[in-house]
A = this chain, B = another copy of it.
């Protein structure tokens, strides 16, 4: 099984210290929700994020990026063929486990509703079959996710500051039909690089181009090359 970890993901419920800020309460009211039932989103909460001096604010409040990254991964034949396991790891040591049967909502508002529900109930199952669609585990660091849960043969980080290579070269170096227990780690944040902690967990770090590419583009290209290597079609 190939694993994909969307790491340091900019996905969180509104932090309690900005819950009363007008940009937060106004946005929640518009949606007919309570502030703690909405996700931190720079599009709406920029003023609150600035005034409260949230730590590492430049890496936070981009649930849309995580949404795109997930849609990208979950739309691939690799995932549909059960050859890919996807995880989201947040800076607060939460891990979201993505079930094989999840049909992720394309509508952002439905995605937001689903994630809020997950943060509240920790587990979302398919109604009839009781199959897990999403599971949230708390107090699981990225290190613990990789070393204790995924246990891959190799951890491959993808970052602008890695060694320049192509998706095809990376995949052909590390993956073949007899051996593909790799975990790919892609940042789920808008700016900056992996933390030192994330970097240390990677056996290799590659950059797949001269451009600073969006996470979803990196995911699309790596998974497509994995499919070619594994002859999925």
Residues of A bordering B, CB below 8 Å: 30-32, 41, 43, 62, 64-65, 68, 71-72, 75-77, 80, 106-110, 166-167, 209-211, 213-214, 216-217, 220-221, 224, 233
Known A30-B32, A68-B71; further 10 A-B contacts with Cβ < 8 A: A30-B31, A43-B109, A62-B106, A65-B106, A75-B213, A77-B213, A80-B211, A166-B233, A209-B233, A210-B233
Task: Select A108's contact among B62, B75, B108, beta carbons within 8 Å.
Answer: B108
A224 touches B220 (CB 8 A): yes
Contacting residues, chain B, for A30 (C-beta < 8 A)? 30-32
Q: List 10 A-B contacts (CB under 8 A).
A: A30-B30, A30-B32, A41-B107, A65-B106, A71-B216, A108-B109, A166-B233, A167-B224, A220-B220, A220-B224
Picked from B64, B71, B210, B216, the residue with its CB within 8 Å of the CB of A75 is B216
Q: Is A77 touching B110 in the complex (CB atoms < 8 A)?
A: no
Separation in Å of the A60 CB from the closest CB of chain B? Answer: 15
- A43 to B75, alpha carbons, bound, how many Å? 19
- In the complex, what residues of B have CB within 8 A of residue A106's CB? 62, 64-65, 68
Distance in angstroms from A38 CB to nearest chain B CB is 12
- By a CB distance below 8 angstroms, the chain B residues around A214 are 71, 75
Structural contact, B217 and A76, CB atoms closer than 8 A: yes
Chain B residue numbers with a CB within 8 Å of A210 are 77, 233
The residue of chain B having its C-beta at the shortest distance from the C-beta of A232 within the complex is B209
Chain B residues with Cβ below 8 Å from A75 are 213-214, 216-217
Chain B residues within 8 Å of A71, by CB: 68, 214, 216
